[in-house]
């Protein structure tokens, strides 16, 4: 029986060694081959260089050293439902809360126009303040004001700025 046990041991050891040393069965898988990738090529083509457009200049050139930049461009008919005084020479929006224009009307004519038109638009007139240089500050309820400043040129040009808050 010892021979049978030895034979069994040798057989079991052989099977064990065979299973440890033999290579596993090959499992072939298909792998894709790299394909050619088409890359776009850049071809420079000359193009025209864009030129900045010019803003129309006002129809006058004020004299003197006015402290604020004068508006450029064609004045609008109204700004945020506030009329721009007819006869404005040049005008432009300063921000979402302001619009400026120039006119040859007198400060008194600008004051009369805006008191009348702002009241028609539902704004309540509060007061007008004056400056030593002939400027006006017209205040309305609800955060609206109209500033009228003489530009200082011989033509009598005034700068008008409408501000809302």
CA distances in angstroms from 120 to 22, 90, 124, 137, listed in the order given:
103, 24, 9, 19
DSSP 147: E
pLDDT tens for 130-152 read 888 788 899 998 888 999 887 76
Q: What CATH number was assigned to the domain covering residues 78-164?
A: 3.30.310
Phi/psi for 123 (5° steps) reads -85, 140
pLDDT tens sequence across 70-107: 899 999 999 988 999 999 999 999 888 899 999 999 88
Q: Taking a C-beta distance cutoff of 8 angstroms, is the pair 157, 101 a contact?
A: no
58 vs 5: CA distance, rounded Å: 119
- Give pTM, 2 decimals: 0.59
Cα radius of gyration rounded to whole Å, the chain: 44
| pLDDT for residue 34 | 66
């Amino acid at each position: 029986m010892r021979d049978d046990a030895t034979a069994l041991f040798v057989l079991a050891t052989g099977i064990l060694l065979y299973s440890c040393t033999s290579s596993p069965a090959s499992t072939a898988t298909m792998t894709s081959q790299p394909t050619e990738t088409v890359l776009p090529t850049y071809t420079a083509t000359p193009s025209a260089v864009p030129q900045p457009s010019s803003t129309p200049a006002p129809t006058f050139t004020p004299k003197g050293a006015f402290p604020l930049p004068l508006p450029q461009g064609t004045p609008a008919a109204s700004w945020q439902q506030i009329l721009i005084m007819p006869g404005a020479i040049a005008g432009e929006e300063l921000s979402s809360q302001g619009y400026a224009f120039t006119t040859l009307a007198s400060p008194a004519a600008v004051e009369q126009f805006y008191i009348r038109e702002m009241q028609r638009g539902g704004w309540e007139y509060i007061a007008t303040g004056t400056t030593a240089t002939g400027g006006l500050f017209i205040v309305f309820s609800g955060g609206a004001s109209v500033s009228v400043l003489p530009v200082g040129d011989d033509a009598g040009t005034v700068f008008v700025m409408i501000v809302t808050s």
